[in-house]
Amino acid sequence: VATSASILSRAALGWNADQPDIPLAVINRLREKLRAEMEVIDSGHNHATVVASFSSVRLRGANDVACFLITGEEKEAEAAARQFWRSVGGPEQLVLVLALSEDAARSAASALPADFFCVFGPSDLASLLDSSDPLALLKNKLREQVPWRRLMPFITKHAVHGNMFYGRRNEIQRLIDEDTENFAIAGQGRIGKSSLVAEYVQRLRKKRDPRVEAYAFCDFYTCQPKSETAIVQFLGKAIGGVTSQSVNLTLEGLEPFLRRRAHQIGRPLDLLLEEVDMVCDSQTFKVLAHISKRAHGPIARLVLLGRGELLRAAYDEYSPLGKHVQLMRLEPLDEESARRLLIEPLADMGVGFSDEQLVLAMILRLTGRLPQLLQYFGAKLAKLALEQGCRTISQRHVEIVRLDMETVRMFTSPLEDIKDPLAEMVALLLLERGIHRVDEYVVMDVVRSTDIQVQEPRSRKICDDLLLANFLSWTKTGLHIANEAMGLRVRETDYLVPAMDRARKRVQQRVFL
Ligand SMILES: Nc1ncnc2c1ncn2[C@@H]1O[C@H](COP(=O)(O)OP(=O)(O)O)[C@@H](O)[C@H]1O
Ligand SMILES: [Mg+2]
């Protein structure tokens, strides 16, 4: 078996376009050593481009790192590096230059824009392949060479997968194993529905599961459901692209259309349908639900993602969706995952905790373990510490973040998102009285104290409204106040009295209207 040193020194001498085995030997060694997914996407004279995925490196861009393996003389290396950058450069793109010669390291560095890449020279590569903890070495190098703001791992703006996806083990496994079961993943915004499906697709891809060929994705967010035809054609275009068949699709044509598509792919379709609230009551979805239940049909199963409307449709046992679709609800992250979501990315940024148990317990309570709030808190803490040049987070930092204006706005926004005035009043009363566990009877009780009577269906609707506004969280054991920051804030300020007044007036107006 060749030693790492011999593989590196052979590759340093260079290779031709028809000798891809030489760079490949280095890449294979790196792959083993770093336990990463690495795929060669281009290989030529003295250079190779590889896309690497480091799912245990919690730094921005680590899911999808463009690596450039290079050797040779300066002029040639510089031109190759320019070409490489043109093909991979972009926002958030992390770039690793793996230079087998000093010349190549220098010229690649001068060809690439400053701050956008990390260079491993020949001796760094040797130590990497020799190291007992190569990932730690990789992270150190990244932190040394790339500004920390570019490495900030926490994401709150879009769905996450790979290195920043935590928890949801059972849910992912169900999507993978129960592959002919229809699911409605329904619930409040930002609980992690889109992330769950993104991670599911990534897992299939990583396992090279043939089912990855069969999924079709359609996001109905921009669909204007003016008519059934508009809906069915929107779906058709997402599945089959803009073709004469998809733009002329009718509801009657849907099943043959899907059958042709499934035939082309060679297996029934795994339909992942996003943001279906506006369309889940449509005829198109009734037809989809029926087709999905047909043995040997063109649909393997449906995965529907949505909020209140989907939740209602899935509850309703008389609706076609209610009959044919299993409701999957998402809880806040489990404690262990929530902890790791804070500890690991911060550690990879070079930041630790002064009293880990205590500080984490504070953050878990404030955020209610809601994934987006955890990521938000992590980002704020990392920024605060690194801007101060401090490497340890203490209780004091948590307090600073909690009282920050942006945090206050974000954590109390559920109160503003409650549309129904009576539900808003219930929310304020729950906070005032410090009630944490909520169900329809608690709601009836709270309302009764204001001399208004509500019956069970209405109070159940109030619970749903409070959940969908992110005021409550759903868990298998019941509904809870979604985050403790709201209650703290309300008690610490004069928020409650005027807000309660306003809500009461709105309720009375409604009552008399
Ligand atoms: N499993 C998860 N692990 C870590 N963070 C998550 C997870 N799920 C969601 N998030 C966080 O929550 C945010 C919103 O997630 P997203 O999947 O878009 O929610 P939804 O589709 O329910 O609105 C993400 O940007 C991310 O910060
Ligand atoms: Mg979403």
Pairing, β 65-70 against β 95-99: parallel
Q: Which of 194, 195, 305 to mutate to test the pocket of ligand 1 (most atoms within 8 A of CB)?
A: 195
| Ligand 1 contact via 192 beta carbon (within 6 Å) | yes
Of 137, 100, 124, 94, give the one whose Cα is nearest residue 112. Answer: 94
- What residues contact 492, with CB distance under 8 A and at least 6 apart? none
> Using DSSP, how many helices (H) and how many strands (E) does the chain show?
25, 15
**Under a CB-based contact definition with an 8 Å cutoff, are residues 95 and 117 in contact?**
yes
Q: Which of 60, 160, 276, 329 to mutate to test the pocket of ligand 1 (most atoms within 8 A of CB)?
A: 160
Q: What is the pLDDT of residues 305-340, one digit of tens each?
A: 999 999 999 999 888 899 999 999 999 999 999 999
Model-level pTM? 0.96
23-60 b/e with 16+ CB inside 10 Å = b? bbbbbebbbebbebbbebeebeebbbbbbbbbbebbbb
DSSP string, 385-434: HHHTT--EE-HHHHHHHHHSHHHHHHHHHHHHH--SHHHHHHHHHHHHHT
- What residues contact 73, with CB distance under 8 A and at least 6 apart? 103, 104
DSSP string, 211-260: GGGGEEEEEGGG---SSHHHHHHHHHHHHH-S-HHHHT--TTTHHHHHHH
| Ligand 1 contact via 190 beta carbon (within 6 Å) | yes
Cβ atoms within 10 Å, residue 476: 6
Distance of CA 156 from the midpoint of ligand 1 (Å): 7
- Can you tell me the distance from the alpha carbon of 138 to that of 149, in angstroms, rounded to the nearest whole number? 17
Q: Where are the alpha helices (DSSP H) in 97-209?
A: 102-111, 122-130, 134-145, 148-151, 169-177, 193-206
Ligand number, closest to the Cα atom of 331: 1
Distance of CA 49 from the midpoint of ligand 1 (Å): 31
Cβ atoms within 10 Å, residue 197: 24
Q: What is the pLDDT of residues 130-152, one digit of tens each?
A: 999 999 999 999 999 999 999 99
Distance of CA 194 from the midpoint of ligand 1 (Å): 7
| Ligand 1 contact via 372 beta carbon (within 6 Å) | yes
Report which protein residue has its CA nearest ligand 1's atom 8: 192
- Per-residue pLDDT band for 511 (boundaries 50, 70, 90) equals low
**Under a CB-based contact definition with an 8 Å cutoff, are residues 119 and 109 in contact?**
yes
Q: Which atom of ligand 1 sits closest to the CA of residue 157?
A: 25
Q: What is the pLDDT of residues 285-301, one digit of tens each?
A: 999 999 999 989 999 99
Is the pLDDT assigned to residue 30 strictly greater than 90?
Answer: yes
Q: Which atom of ligand 1 sits closest to the CA of residue 167?
A: 1
Distance of CA 190 from the midpoint of ligand 1 (Å): 5
- What residues contact 241, with CB distance under 8 A and at least 6 apart? none
Output the six-digit token pair for 141: 């190098």
